[in-house]
Amino acid sequence: MAKKHVVAAASEIPPGGRKLVTADGRAIVVFNLGGEFFALSNRCPHRGGSLCEGSLTGLVLSDDPGHYDYTRRGEIIRCPWHSWEFDIRTGKSWCDPDRVKARRFGVSVEKGAKLIEGPYVAETFRVSVENDYVVVEA
Amino acid sequence: MTDVMTEVGAIDCDVHPSVPDVAALLPHLDTFWRDSVVERGLNSLDSNSYPLKSPLTSRPEWRNKSGLPAASAKEVGDQVFGRWQSGTAILNCLYGVQLLFSEDMAAAFCRALNDWVVKEWLDRDPRMRASIVIPMQNVEYAVDEIERCAKDRRFVQVLVLAMQEVPLGRRHFWPIYAACERHGLPLGIHAGSAYRNPVTSLGWPTWYIEDYAAQAPGFQSQMASLICEGVFAKHPGLKVVLIESGVTWLPGFLWRFGKFWRGLRTEVPWVDRAPWEIVRDHFRLTIQPFDAPDDPHAVERAIEHLRSDDILLYASDYPHWQFDGDAVIPAGFSPALRRKIAISNPLATYARLKEDAR
């Protein structure tokens, strides 16, 4: 049964930002895409590279050689080791989406006041009533 | 002693008619070029790719008294249709027209060569088909030659060399591929070089053995070029036949190419599926040389690694010396696969073979 872990203050991960956190001993990278938070295992499913250290990019597709259809800027993370692309929203790789996926974790933003009531695990820092916090289910 | 490994009625996808000398082409050249050949003292356009006296160029018993192999439709027919009982032969004429520097001269010689093939071969034996040799020195001329020859339905393919001035995928060549697609003609890429570049990426090698062995990496680079430049995204109907390319390098190369595609595909976003899938849909390879040990189990394993029964085409590469005896198909092919590569795969590749030509 997944537990909810308070892993960061929401203000630490601004839109376009990411943070490597630990929850239940797992390395997890939390992304903020324009205010929406997503959490993936930091371990690339290919060879284990640290996704948090990869470059953030967009999705480039083409229906005609020489034309570059570049969308979803900032929503793709490329593993720093072999440059495989992962969709931050789904964890799926572009090259083999059904078989190669970064594990996803549930993530939400909760009010400090609610967190103090529990049943949350705040492993590394104090939670104050007036702030928002990122909560990962792991 | 080797096993007989042929198939009755097979479509032999790689047979090489020999041009005896330039004089044979004179009747097919216009008067300016005819006089030029004489005035310039041109007597041969044989290429370094196939030195006539090299053992590889022909088995000794297939040479005529003057040392020339495959010199007439009858000689070729006796071997391919007679002894091996094939039903159809696709003639790929290798003559040094691709090496010429003058675009005009190259175009004139291609026209002459194709007309000579019609007169001396196709008209003499209804079981023969041929590839259109084109002057890649000039794309417009190349397309013109395809248009001119494609009217004769006995031309079933367009023929280019594995090594040329620039990689084959480059976009200025695409009108040629559009013409291939329009006329239902696969692009045949045959071993050989126009010698515009060293035959290895390292520089010029010293020996013929290096030149010939270097053909396989040349084919690999052309395969990568055609895929990466997006030729198949633009021309989904185009088929490419690698001829005399060797076969067994393919799985290893595709493993490497596919692996790097995963990380580098954003450079070439029109390559929207794994290279292996594109190869399976668009590329075919002739089986001689196969490049595997004689052990049938080794051949079986090599075939398994290809992961497709569709991509191999029966070919003797006559008169080149790729095998001994009559072992056109290496031992290790199942009877069903032998039949498939001899008949149904060629028919699926060469649209025009399904027609009743003429």
Nearest 5 degrees, angle CA B72-CA B74-CA B78?
Answer: 125
Does B86 reside within a domain? yes
Does B84 reside within a domain? yes
Give the pLDDT confidence score for residue A124 in this predicted structure: 63
Does B47 reside within a domain? yes
Contact status, residue A23 vs residue A14, Cβ threshold 8 Å: no
Report the CATH number that the domain containing residue B196 is assigned in CATH.
3.20.20.140
Give CA A109 to chain center in angstroms: 13
Does B74 reside within a domain? yes
- Distance of residue A20 Cα from the nearest chain B Cα, in angstroms: 23
Cβ–Cβ below 8 Å for B269 and A85: no
CA distance B186 to B241: 7
Does B2 reside within a domain? no
For B216-234, how does the pLDDT look when each residue is reduced to its tens digit (9 = 90+)? Answer: 999 999 999 999 999 999 9
**B296-306 and B249-264 helices, crossing angle to 10°:** 30
Cβ–Cβ below 8 Å for B270 and A85: no
CA distance B219 to B242: 8
B335 part of contact set with chain A, CB < 8 Å: no
B274 part of contact set with chain A, CB < 8 Å: yes
- Distance of residue B269 Cα from the nearest chain A Cα, in angstroms: 5
Q: What residue type is B307 in one-letter code?
A: R
Chain B contact set for A68 (CB, 8 A): 269
Domain ranges, residue A81: 4-137
Cβ–Cβ below 8 Å for A63 and B234: no
Residue B18 has pLDDT above 50, yes or no: yes
CA B206 → CA A69, B199, B214, distances in Å? 47, 11, 12
pTM of the complete model: 0.94
- Is B278 strand, coil or helix? helix
State the pLDDT confidence band at B4, using cuts at 50, 70 and 90. low
Domain ranges, residue B277: 11-354
Torsion angle (degrees, nearest 10) of CA B105, B110, B115, B116: 90
Cβ–Cβ below 8 Å for B265 and A94: yes
Torsion angle (degrees, nearest 10) of CA A3, A5, A10, A13: -100
Cβ–Cβ below 8 Å for B229 and A65: yes
Give the pLDDT confidence score for residue B55 in this predicted structure: 82
User: Which is more confidently placed, B67 or B344?
Assistant: B344
For B140-158, how does the pLDDT look when each residue is reduced to its tens digit (9 = 90+)? Answer: 999 999 999 999 999 999 9
Question: pLDDT exceeding 70 applies to what percent of chain B?
Answer: 98
Residue A115 has pLDDT above 90, yes or no: no
Mutation target for B interface from A73, A76, A79, A94: give the one with most B CBs within 10 A.
Answer: A94
Does B186 reside within a domain? yes
State the pLDDT confidence band at A129, using cuts at 50, 70 and 90. confident
Chain A contact set for B277 (CB, 8 A): none
Number of domains in chain A: 1
In chain B, the residue whose alpha carbon lies closest to the alpha carbon of A78 is: B263
Does B72 reside within a domain? yes
B40 part of contact set with chain A, CB < 8 Å: no
Cβ–Cβ below 8 Å for A96 and B262: yes
Residue A106 has pLDDT above 60, yes or no: yes
Does B4 reside within a domain? no
Cβ–Cβ below 8 Å for A65 and B264: no
For B28-86, how does the pLDDT look when each residue is reduced to its tens digit (9 = 90+)? Answer: 999 999 999 999 999 889 888 888 888 888 999 999 988 899 999 999 999 999 999 99
A60 dihedral zone (left: phi>0; alpha: psi -120 to 50; beta): beta
**Partner residue facing A64 (CB), from B233, B263, B266:** B233
Contact status, residue B245 vs residue B212, Cβ threshold 8 Å: no
ipTM of the complex: 0.89
Number of domains in chain B: 1
Mutation target for B interface from A70, A71, A81, A82: give the one with most B CBs within 10 A.
Answer: A82
Cβ–Cβ below 8 Å for A69 and B270: no
Give CA A65 to chain center in angstroms: 32
Chain A contact set for B274 (CB, 8 A): 95
Cβ–Cβ below 8 Å for B269 and A66: no
Residue B1 has pLDDT above 60, yes or no: no
Residue B2 has pLDDT above 70, yes or no: no
Residue B303 has pLDDT above 50, yes or no: yes
Instruction: Name B346's Cβ contacts closer than 8 Å, sequence gap at least 6.
Output: B11, B13, B88, B313, B314, B353
**Partner residue facing A84 (CB), from B231, B234, B263:** B263
Instruction: Name A59's Cβ contacts closer than 8 Å, sequence gap at least 6.
Output: A70, A71, A72, A75, A76, A85, A87, A94
Give the pLDDT confidence score for residue A121 in this predicted structure: 72
CA distance B188 to B244: 10
In chain B, the residue whose alpha carbon lies closest to the alpha carbon of A83 is: B263
Report the CATH number that the domain containing residue A103 is assigned in CATH.
2.102.10.10
Q: Which residues of chain A have a Cβ shorter than 8 Å from any chain B Cβ?
A: 57, 60-69, 82-85, 93-96
Give the pLDDT confidence score for residue B354 in this predicted structure: 92
